Structure 1
Amino acid sequence: MNVAVHREDQLSSSPRLRCILIGVGRRALEDYVPALVDLSETIDFVAACDVDPTAEARLAAVLGRRAEARPLFFTDRTAALDATRPDLAVIATPHHTHLEVAKNLILRGVPLLKEKPFAISLTEAHELAHLVWQHDGHVRLCVQRRYHPLYLHAKEALAELGQIRHFDASYQLNANAYHDGWRASPETAGGGAIIDMGYHIVDLLHWFFGVPSVVYATTAPKLVPTASYTIEETVLANVRYDNGTTGTLRLSLCEAAKEETIRVYGTKGHITLRRDLFERYDRSNNRVENLIGDSSWASTTDVLVDTVARLRDSTVVTQEVTAAVDITAVIESLYHSIAQQAPVKPMRQETCSDCYNARRGWRSSGSRPTDGVSLAQASPGLV
């Protein structure tokens, strides 16, 4: 059985939205630009902005292969926003710049879709969430797996497993972008395997199981000990939840083959989940469900479709920002665990609607560990 998403059902018949792309790096060129072109009946790709002037030629090359007209190009964000007055902005810049760019857009009243991570520290996550509540900002996050048909089905199928006992989640790539440039340093990337590619899996586990009560994470030695990058490359973590569920998480940037597999075990059976396959088994190991994924799934396009369709939906913003702050707390606890070589409890907090009330400011029912370190401080020397 094949599972597909019907984007046409979600597209609005209203006039095209004026969209600006901020950041024209590899991710933008490979995913966002094709998606914006595919959705040209709904989205008017009016401008792109990057501090690197050579990005204009790379953008032109991508659009030229598709015989598409080029949008305006700017190296200055203020000039770009003043000239185009967009209805939507996409942020695909280096991680450490996200907060500044998002703040600029929120204060201008421009809805935005940003790349992960939500923030490179819990402090920044709090600040961004507060900006959203204080200024009625519209911020969406590109976490594609929540839109993938098989992952959506798996979320529903968890109820068929009875009480969830344990899970194994593994995600590995054969990447090299972190060897140099901004991704090589925790100060600019926020970290490596956990906060970059691993953000998708931590987000997925939060969607499935919520916030763990305790985490314990360790790192493997660097693949190339003499290499200059200082982000964590391979991580193994054990997690436990208040209801007794336990799990293991393995993330790696440097393996020979790409792999993404999640197995969830309950009292009534188990499931195996990949981007191209969903299988469910009963307690006797009989396969009772088998779904094949669509290999042509365009994840970024689906996220943009949903963003446009829910551009005036404040409820989805509250849900996503609330989840993003919790996910950042889990990520920070993983880095604390690595640095302290000990189990760590993620900081628990009230709902974001209470925490970030613009009239009252931030209120936390939890407390930060006095010996805690930032995400960036946790990573160096521990890869």
Structure 2
Amino acid sequence: MPEVLHPVQPLAGPVPPPIQPGTRLRAGVVGLGKQATEDHLPGLLAADDAELVAVCDENADVVREQESQLEVSGYGDIQAMLSSEQLDFVVVCVPHSAGRKVIEMAAERGVHILKEKPFATSLTEAQALTALCERSEVELMVTLQRRFNPIYTSFTQLADQIGTPIVVDAAYTLHVDDPSDGWRGQNEVAGGGCIIDMGYHLVDLLLWYFGLPDRILADTSANARPDRSYDAEDTALIHFSYDSGLYGSLLLSRFIGPKSEKIQLVGSRGIVRLERGRIQRMTNDGKMVESLAREQAWPSAATSQINHFCHVIRGDRLNLSSPRDNIAHLAFIAACYESAGAGRHVNPKELM
């Protein structure tokens, strides 16, 4: 039977004071793992529109270290941080299964949320959290940094010059020596493996460029390290197609090195090939027509994303990755897992 949706009702909490024009928004970071320390903390420190005032993590040693280095308040409990600090938004970088609780607590207090991908661990959870954010009138934006990189934003412009799109060849692979290591190897905590985790970025690009497919056929495996015990897939091959005639495949893997990322679109009058840091338009026989490359200064994408979210909170820019937008992402992912389990095509639109 389908999972019954029980929307969460926000509790009454203190309402933050109105944001004054020109002021920097006060931010807290929840979860101090690699993603936070390498992207979000440096991004906040470099942002013009935000001010880092607090950090939170269950690991007391990590909190003390960041508290000392960054000269901010440190907490071991998010409720304590939300009660003690007048925050405008939080950046949420916790294991996937813990994300819902953090979102609920922030929404209860009217604190906006920049959520590290994925938005949720399931389609029904995504629908419940979308309803919660809308009732609580908080902005939530999922961290999808590629939307703030001109290499990726130029894809559609080049794709318009290659005629009728025919086929998409996409892949995102990297090598993790032990896919069982840490919480990412456990379905119960991660909500899945390479599809919902690292694959979320490529799913976002496919939906951004082409929309939600009409059919998905997926195969997954968790067999790269037979000497280890884990159930979150390390590799997935996903075939997708549209009623328009466009079709393609997406290879995702946490075990296939070296690290690479690509989307190649073949059209009736040319090819567009997108890789990390470079995009090319070619003729159908592979001759270069034009190319664009970018040397990205760290951590510019994270900073751009944070500054944009501050404008979203103020109401003068659109939310590029809202909860309602990300319901389609979770429908795509849910269709992949259902297809892999049932061995048949699944229409993600029907799941919505």
Distance 1:48 1:198 in 2: 27
Cα distance change on mapping 1:32 and 1:303 into 2, 3 Å: same
Corresponding residue for residue 44 of structure 1: 51
Corresponding residue for residue 20 of structure 1: 28
Cα distance, 1:27 vs structure 2: 1.0
Q: Contact 1:212 / 1:241 at 8 angstroms: preserved in 2?
A: yes
User: How do 1:65-144 and structure 2 match up within 5 A?
Assistant: 69-144=70-145
Greater CA drift, 335-344 or 121-130:
335-344
Corresponding residue for residue 30 of structure 1: 38
Of 295, 307, 310, 2:309 maps to: 307
- Output the amino acid matched with 2:342: Q
Greater CA drift, 115-124 or 275-284:
275-284
User: How do 1:194-209 and structure 2 match up within 5 A?
Assistant: 194-209=195-210
1:316 aligned onto 2:318: yes
Distance 1:44 1:189 in 2: 30
Corresponding residue for residue 189 of structure 1: 190
Distance 2:142 2:264 in 1: 25
Corresponding residue for residue 165 of structure 2: 164
Cα distance change on mapping 1:133 and 1:90 into 2, 3 Å: same
- Output the amino acid matched with 1:32: H
- Output the amino acid matched with 1:168: D
Q: CA RMSD in A?
A: 2.0
SS of 1:174 mapped into structure 2: coil
Distance 1:27 1:201 in 2: 18
Corresponding residue for residue 255 of structure 1: 256
* 1:192-222 residue CA offsets vs partner (Å, 9 max, x unmatched): 1100000000011000000000111112462
Distance 1:138 1:292 in 2: 33
Q: Contact 2:173 / 2:254 at 8 angstroms: preserved in 1?
A: yes
Q: Contact 1:213 / 1:242 at 8 angstroms: preserved in 2?
A: yes
Corresponding residue for residue 331 of structure 1: 333
Distance 2:175 2:89 in 1: 33
Distance 1:47 1:285 in 2: 51
SS of 1:311 mapped into structure 2: helix
TM-score (normalised: structure 2): 0.89
> Which structure 2 segments of 5+ residues have no match?
1-19
- Output the amino acid matched with 2:271: H
> Which structure 1 segments of 5+ residues have no match?
1-11, 64-68, 349-365, 369-383
Cα distance, 1:171 vs structure 2: 0.4
Distance 1:156 1:138 in 2: 29
Cα distance, 1:56 vs structure 2: 1.6
Distance 1:251 1:275 in 2: 15
Corresponding residue for residue 55 of structure 1: 62
- Output the amino acid matched with 1:321: P
Distance 2:316 2:213 in 1: 27
Q: Contact 1:277 / 1:293 at 8 angstroms: preserved in 2?
A: yes
* 1:257-277 residue CA offsets vs partner (Å, 9 max, x unmatched): 100011101112111111121
Cα distance, 1:13 vs structure 2: 7.6
Distance 1:340 1:105 in 2: 37
Q: Contact 1:138 / 1:314 at 8 angstroms: preserved in 2?
A: no
Corresponding residue for residue 218 of structure 2: 217
- Output the amino acid matched with 2:60: P
Distance 1:92 1:264 in 2: 33
TM-score (normalised: structure 1): 0.82
* 1:329-358 residue CA offsets vs partner (Å, 9 max, x unmatched): 000000111111221111x2xxxxxxxxxx
Cα distance, 1:82 vs structure 2: 1.1
Cα distance, 1:251 vs structure 2: 0.3
Cα distance, 1:314 vs structure 2: 8.6
Cα distance change on mapping 1:319 and 1:89 into 2, 3 Å: closer
Cα distance change on mapping 1:25 and 1:318 into 2, 3 Å: closer
Q: Contact 1:129 / 1:321 at 8 angstroms: preserved in 2?
A: yes
Distance 1:328 1:315 in 2: 24
* 1:92-131 residue CA offsets vs partner (Å, 9 max, x unmatched): 1110111111111112111110000011000101101111
Q: How many residues align?
A: 332
Corresponding residue for residue 340 of structure 1: 342
SS of 2:168 mapped into structure 1: strand
Distance 2:295 2:288 in 1: 20
